[in-house]
Structure 1
Amino acid sequence: MSRPPTFVPPPCAAARVLRTARGDFAVLDAVPAAGVRRRGTVLMLPGFTGSKEDFIALLEPLTEAGYRAVTVDGRGQYETPGPEDEQAYAQDELARDVLAQAAALGDGPPHLLGHSLGGQIARAAVLLDPGAFASLTLMSSGPAAIAPVQQQRAKMLADAVTALSMAEVWQAMQAMEPPPPQDAQTRGEDRPGDGGDDSEALRARWLRHSPAQLIATGRQLSNEPDRVAELAALPLPKHVISGERDDTWAVPLLDDMAHRLRAHRTVIRGAEHSPNTDRPEETATALIDFWNR
């Protein structure tokens, strides 16, 4: 999961509820300051076990560049409630939620960005109605199912949340975390991206996820078909962005997907599966450059 540097939104952003034809969604809505030329609106979807806060470090640079940036908790994620019915989290249902969110923004077609699981949901939304969006950015989100080792982890997680409470699962996951490097311990530092003083916020986020959402979306990630040819047939501008290392989808697989999509391709040096939190300044610059085109 992405580990945001903080759960406190910057001054440009407000936590609010986005009311749509398909229900209410918790969002962070960041708007450019008065006098800044408006360039468009961006709708951002988080990944598996993530939340709207995963994009929090991108909000200030995006608004400074003239973009309204709206990050959303999908149904069953963190501050957006969802039913304990796995059918409610079918990919088609989640994609239709995204179409409703885009319409509710009221700014015309937004640029759509999805990270990891969010990218596959974004792809499904675009395939349902490509005219609803100005462009599509797939961030660390591959063409088909996740790597076998990640499929095993998703199944283990599903088994765990079925048998245990979310609090018990969190405690078990923390016990399995590797300790920080010895030199970092000596300096009294946290692991990069571990949330630091926001570790309790990470726990609170986890506890509010719907177990049914985790089970259903974990299964989706493990069984997603390759729909690149369908997506490539759409005239929508596309961008594939990732870190230089990724253990969920191999980087050469993302390179090949970008080639098949005839998409703009960005690799963020020094980043792994979450360039949005690993290297937010470089990631924001790359996104702004693509959208400005």
Structure 2
Amino acid sequence: MSVPRTLQLPPGVTKSFELGGLHGDVAMLSAKAIGPSKGKVLLIPGWTGSKEDFLPLLPLLAAAGYDATAYDQAGQYESDPGDDYTLESYARGALRLAQMDSSRTHLLGHSFGGLVAQQAALIDPPQVRSLSLLCSGPGALGDSPTRPLRRVVDAIGKVPLLQIHQLREQGIKRPAQITAFLAKRFTANDPRSLRAMTQLLIDAPDVVDAVRATGVPTWVGRGTDDDAWPHDVQEMMAKRLGTEIAVVPDSAHSPAVENPEALMQAWLPFLEAH
């Protein structure tokens, strides 16, 4: 989960709903390129996240010449629920947005969104201009004492979502506006989608070798203090994809929020090269 530091839309960022997405209406935040467009970027959020996780990044991408869009996945926060919550279905939802015009798309997936982005590259390599994996992994994150995902799976549908959220946030102090937003976002999730995403974090397959075989250019990055997939696992994933991992300073699992300028500095040369 990423925690936005502000919910105010930066200049040039607009909120909209794409009607008739793969699973219904899709909630989006977008920023148009300043000057001639160099291409389009689609930002895929992670588990318990949302399009707001990329708020600071959108204007930076626009200033760099890219049309950028972040969205809520099916059943996530403000997007309509779906009737199929497989990893392939989430990926096809991303591809539906990517195919809104005829141009190819740079995909960036954060955390669980990286698993979705990898699947999208496998389904339709010609549509994916480049693939970027931020604080993500080659497959399942897995259950652990510090991240008891199986307990979350078991609780969803039996325990109110607000109660699950409050247990996760217990003892954490945040600004009142952010606290309210996090509770609203978590409880707005379709429980079926949240449960499916959680289960996929437990058992999603490793498809990295198949992703490399597509030939889609790939970038891998993480925050210095990322606490999700182990650092050596992410480094090995990057090597298997034929690249080196970029480490974003002064950030943890959410560089797009914690240090968006440094993230852009690390990522932009890759975008411009492809």
How many pairs were matched up? 272
Alignment map for 1:237-256 (pairs within 5 Å): 237-256=217-236
1:292 aligned onto 2:269: no
Q: Hey, what does 2:187 align to over in structure 1?
A: 207
Unaligned runs of 5+ in 1: 180-193
**Partners in 1 of 2:220 and 2:166 — Cα distance?**
35
**Partners in 2 of 1:247 and 1:149 — Cα distance?**
12
| Higher radius of gyration, 1 or 2 | 1
User: Offset at 1:178?
Assistant: 4.8
* Greater fraction helix: 1
SS in 2 for 1:108: coil
Please tell me the residue identity of whatever aligns with 1:199. Answer: T
**Partners in 2 of 1:32 and 1:281 — Cα distance?**
17
**Partners in 2 of 1:98 and 1:71 — Cα distance?**
10
Asked if structure 2 preserves the Cα contact closer than 8 Å seen for 1:258 and 1:265, the reply is yes
User: Which whole-Å deviations, capped at 9, do the CAs of 1:150-192 have from their partners, x for residues lacking one?
Assistant: 79522222222221212222222222x456xxxxxxxxxxxxx
User: Offset at 1:147?
Assistant: 4.3
1:19 aligned onto 2:19: yes
1:70 aligned onto 2:60: no
Unaligned runs of 5+ in 2: none
Q: What percentage of aligned pairs have identical amino acids?
A: 34
The verdict on how the C-alpha distance between 1:110 and 1:20 changes in structure 2, with shifts beyond 3 A counting, is farther
The verdict on how the C-alpha distance between 1:215 and 1:28 changes in structure 2, with shifts beyond 3 A counting, is same
Please tell me the residue identity of whatever aligns with 2:69. Answer: V
Alignment map for 1:98-137 (pairs within 5 Å): 98-104=94-100, 106=101, 108-137=103-132
Please tell me the residue identity of whatever aligns with 2:151. Answer: M
SS in 2 for 1:49: coil
The verdict on how the C-alpha distance between 1:20 and 1:236 changes in structure 2, with shifts beyond 3 A counting, is farther
Q: Hey, what does 1:197 align to over in structure 2?
A: 177
The verdict on how the C-alpha distance between 1:169 and 1:195 changes in structure 2, with shifts beyond 3 A counting, is same
Q: Hey, what does 2:5 align to over in structure 1?
A: 5
TM-score by length of 1: 0.87
Please tell me the residue identity of whatever aligns with 1:72. Answer: Y
**Partners in 1 of 2:37 and 2:79 — Cα distance?**
28
Aligned CA-pair RMSD: 1.8
**Partners in 2 of 1:96 and 1:171 — Cα distance?**
32
SS in 2 for 1:262: coil
The verdict on how the C-alpha distance between 1:202 and 1:21 changes in structure 2, with shifts beyond 3 A counting, is closer
TM-score by length of 2: 0.93
**Partners in 2 of 1:14 and 1:202 — Cα distance?**
20
Alignment map for 1:31-46 (pairs within 5 Å): 31-33=32-34, 36-46=35-45
